[in-house]
Amino acid sequence: MRPTRRQKIAMMAIVVIVLSCGTANAQRWHQYHRPYRVVTVVSRPAVAVHVSNRFTQKERFRMAMAYLKNHEYLTVKKYAKMTELSKAAAKAELDAFVADKERPLEAVIRGKKKVYILRK
């Protein structure tokens, strides 16, 4: 006995249903039995920020030098508070001062902090 066209279609439909149910169950098992991991990607955009400040860069450098004459070291937080800059801008400016070899400023790591001292 040869299967008719209707029987072939019915058998194929049953096979498709059985296979899809098996796949759905496998996906459901993985969904509920997979350990959850939270991945957070944090990135900062590289954007140049215009700093509007009442002090010029020369004045801010003189303020840092005057502070270092009376104190052992200068932190980014203290410099940001003195000059009214953001911490990121203050850190960038102090690093620029250090990079300029004509200026007597040096960066040193103390514990977990990066501090700035007068070059000897």
Tell the residue number behind the tokens 């959850």, with chain if given: 36
Fold of 57-118: Arc Repressor Mutant, subunit A (1.10.10)
User: Residue 13 CB: number of other CB atoms within 10 A?
Assistant: 10
3-class secondary-structure state, position 25 = helix
Q: What is the pLDDT of residue 55?
A: 84
**What average pLDDT is seen over the chain?**
80
Q: What is the pLDDT of residue 41?
A: 59
pLDDT band at 13 (very low <50, low <70, confident <90, very high): confident
Cβ–Cβ < 8 Å for 105, 94: yes
On whether the pTM is more than 0.75, the answer is no
pLDDT in tens, 17-66: 777 766 555 555 555 555 555 556 565 555 555 555 678 889 999 999 99
65 Cβ neighbours under 8 A, 6+ residues apart: 104, 118
